[in-house]
Amino acid sequence: MLIAANWKMYKGPGETRAFLAEFAPPEVVDVVICPPFGSLGAAVASGRTIFAQNVHWASEGAFTGEVSTRILLELGVQGAIVGHSERRQYFGETDETVARRVAAALEHGLRVIACVGESLEERESGQMELVLRVQVEAIADAAGAHAGLVLAYEPVWAIGTGRTASPEQAQEAHAFIKSLLDVPVLYGGSVKPDNAAELLSQPDVDGALVGGASLDVESFTAICQAAVSAVP
């Protein structure tokens, strides 16, 4: 059971140190913290498992604003989120670039949480499975069922909106994704302490990628505690 905190563009080094000094998750849950780039060093110093929020496919080069696997590994970072819906929506990520990032990160020894998911318009028009198939197959073609790869299903309509997929909707999507690529699948979409246990109890939900609720120590700890009962 993997619970990942995506802090997005919140928490500088000082806030990061304060959070991680107080944070005490249950040992039976695999917990990953994904702070913004400027806070990675402070986070790594805590001894926790730290992932970046993005990684480039090139080892080095003229790619202003990007970060390479080599730099992340030297910092002590163990993995990266790739292809988050906000990266796709605001920064032009495509299925092709996501796949390239995933393949390069895994090749160089980083773990990867690769994100897939449909918009509200796509879901309501009956295209959920088509969208997921295209996104997942791009990753599968690039990397296969790699031991370091985890997918995260994030229904775009449930990110930052307060809306959450029902446990049945999450289970349906996760089962479909696993039929395309046999790797663990996290749920990401307004996960909170009051809905985490029910979502995590679904048979094909292998953890959660938590956004806003991961910024508060008590809230995120409660979600990690909810995961304990779902650990096999």
Structural contact between residues 95 and 131, judged by C-beta atoms closer than 8 angstroms: no
Which secondary structure element, helix H or strand E, spans residue 108, and what is its range? none
Q: Classify each residue of 135-160 as buried b or exposed e, where b means 16 or more C-beta atoms within 10 Å of its C-beta.
A: bbebbbebbeebebbbbbbbbbbbbe
Contacts 24+ apart (CB under 8 A), 91-95: 95/134, 95/135, 95/138
129 is catalytic: no
Q: Which of 56, 84, 146, 174 is catalytic?
A: 84
Contacts 24+ apart (CB under 8 A), 73-77: 73/108, 73/109, 73/110, 75/40, 75/41, 75/44, 76/44, 76/50, 77/40, 77/44, 77/50, 77/51, 77/52, 77/110
* Residue 95: how many other CB atoms lie within 10 Å: 18
174 is catalytic: no
* Closest C-alpha among 49, 48, 59 to residue 22: 48
DSSP-derived pairing of the beta strands 79-82 and 207-210: unpaired
Q: Which of 86, 118, 122, 154 is catalytic?
A: 154
Q: How far apart are CA 117 and CA 136, in angstroms?
A: 9
Active site residues: 84, 154
